[in-house]
């Protein structure tokens, strides 16, 4: 027999069974014998024929409203939906049962199953985890309200499993930023992950990626922002080495610290040399000097540009003063800036490396500026 024909026959048989079940339920509902109705509802419930039992139970709930039987019927209704895997409806009825009959013996199991309904509807981790969060919250309520329940271990285990879903979901989002080289977002999101889940099993790997993300973000930043961002990288990297003393990433992190120190100084000097307006340059050269004093000693393999770094800063401050004097037209103001030039010249003239190129350039500027201001 063809497969399509077989499927049609099975579908037809199922439909007939369903319709006859509905007819049976309706016959029972029309009966005036409440004991008979209760018997049939209980029988169908015990047999797992929930589609037959539910309409009769709902009819009986109206009849027994306000009696001691009402909680039993309502709990049976919630259980019918739960056992039939209709968890959204079951959750609604367990919640209502808990509200209406919170002091009955079945309130404890209703509270647990309310949480379990959401746990059973948890979506794959790549999708929204709203049911996961609700399940965790309801399991926590269960543990709070029934601290001595025999289901506490199971509830705690459920919370841990559900929490893992949230951890994986959050980590996937951060990893996506990391893989697509959106390093600023990656660093921010990874930090949120470890702040939200401080006991996550990937803690070390996440911290490693925070350092790498900060380093790559600093390298891609505009020149003005690089010093600050390399300093952030250094701080994060040093924190990593302090936390994870046996990590397989220690060598790489140490190299990142070394490179960040070098890049911080390089970008500080370059920004001071190229910034506009020229009046602001002395401020940034002074900051570059301060950076050198803080970070140079940490660099083991020193590049050549560091040999003349301070000389370049001293000369940069002096040259900025010279340019300002040269660009000033009003004589009184020109003389004021000239005085500042002399102060800078005298301040740094003994700080240059002996016979350095910058020292000789500073002396040449000293001669040129006197001709410039005719003094």
pLDDT in tens, 147-160: 999 999 999 999 99
Domain region containing 347:
318-375
Position 164 in a domain = no
Q: Which single residue is written with the structure tokens 């015990």?
A: 46
CA distance 270 to 219: 14
Give the count of beta carbons closer than 10 Å to the beta carbon of residue 223.
Answer: 13
pLDDT band at 14 (very low <50, low <70, confident <90, very high): very low
Position 214 in a domain = no
Number of domains making up the chain: 1
> Does residue 366 sit in helix, strand or coil?
helix
Position 161 in a domain = no
DSSP state of 307: G
Position 332 in a domain = yes
Position 353 in a domain = yes
Position 358 in a domain = yes
pLDDT band at 331 (very low <50, low <70, confident <90, very high): confident
Please give the structure tokens belonging to residue 310. 């301070």
Q: What pLDDT is stored for residue 230 in this prediction? A: 98
Q: What pLDDT is stored for residue 129 in this prediction? A: 94
Q: Which single residue is written with the structure tokens 């309409």?
A: 55
How far from the centroid of its chain's Cα atoms is residue 187's Cα?
Answer: 9
Please give the structure tokens belonging to residue 26. 């309706």
pLDDT band at 21 (very low <50, low <70, confident <90, very high): very low
Please give the structure tokens belonging to residue 339. 């005085």
199 pLDDT above the threshold of 70? yes
Position 328 in a domain = yes
Over the stretch 69-111, which tens digit does the pLDDT of each residue have?
Answer: 999 999 999 999 999 999 999 999 999 999 999 999 999 999 9
Position 112 in a domain = no
Element (H, E) at 148: none
Q: What pLDDT is stored for residue 300 in this prediction? A: 94
CA distance 223 to 264: 10
Contacts of 241 (CB under 8 A, 6+ apart): 250, 253, 254, 257
């Amino acid at each position: 027999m063809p497969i399509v024909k077989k499927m049609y026959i099975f579908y037809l048989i199922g439909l007939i069974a369903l319709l006859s079940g509905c007819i049976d339920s309706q016959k029972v509902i029309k009966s005036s014998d409440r004991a008979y109705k209760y018997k049939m509802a209980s029988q169908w419930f015990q047999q797992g024929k929930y589609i037959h039992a539910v309409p009769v139970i709902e009819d009986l709930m109206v009849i027994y409203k306000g009696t001691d039987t009402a909680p039993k019927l309502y709990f049976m209704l919630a259980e019918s939906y739960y056992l039939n895997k209709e968890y959204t409806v079951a959750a609604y009825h367990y919640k209502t049962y808990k509200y209406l009959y919170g002091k009955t013996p079945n309130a404890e199991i209703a509270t647990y199953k309310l949480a379990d309904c959401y746990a059973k509807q948890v979506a794959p981790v790549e999708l929204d985890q709203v049911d996961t969060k609700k399940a965790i919250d309801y399991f926590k309520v269960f543990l709070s309200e029934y601290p001595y329940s025999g289901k506490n271990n199971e509830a705690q285990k459920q919370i841990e499993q559900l929490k893992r879903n949230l951890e994986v979901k959050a980590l996937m989002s951060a990893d996506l930023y990391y893989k697509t080289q959106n390093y600023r977002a990656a660093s921010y999101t990874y930090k949120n992950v470890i702040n939200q889940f401080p006991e996550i099993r990937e803690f070390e790997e996440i911290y490693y990626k925070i350092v790498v993300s900060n380093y790559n973000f600093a390298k891609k930043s505009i020149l003005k922002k690089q010093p600050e961002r390399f300093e952030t990288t250094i701080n994060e990297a040093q924190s990593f080495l302090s936390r994870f003393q046996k990590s397989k990433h220690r060598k790489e992190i140490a190299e990142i610290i070394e490179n960040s120190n070098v890049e911080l100084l390089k970008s500080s000097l370059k920004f001071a040399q190229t910034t506009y307006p020229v009046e602001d340059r002395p401020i940034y050269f002074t900051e570059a000097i301060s950076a050198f004093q803080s970070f140079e000693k940490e660099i083991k393999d020193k590049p050549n540009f560091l040999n003349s770094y301070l000389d370049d800063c001293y000369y940069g401050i002096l040259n900025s003063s010279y340019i300002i004097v040269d660009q000033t037209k009003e004589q009184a103001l020109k003389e004021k800036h000239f005085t500042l030039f002399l102060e800078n010249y005298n301040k740094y003239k003994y700080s240059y490396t002996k016979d350095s190129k910058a020292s000789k350039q500073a002396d040449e500027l000293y001669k040129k500026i006197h001709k410039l201001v005719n003094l």
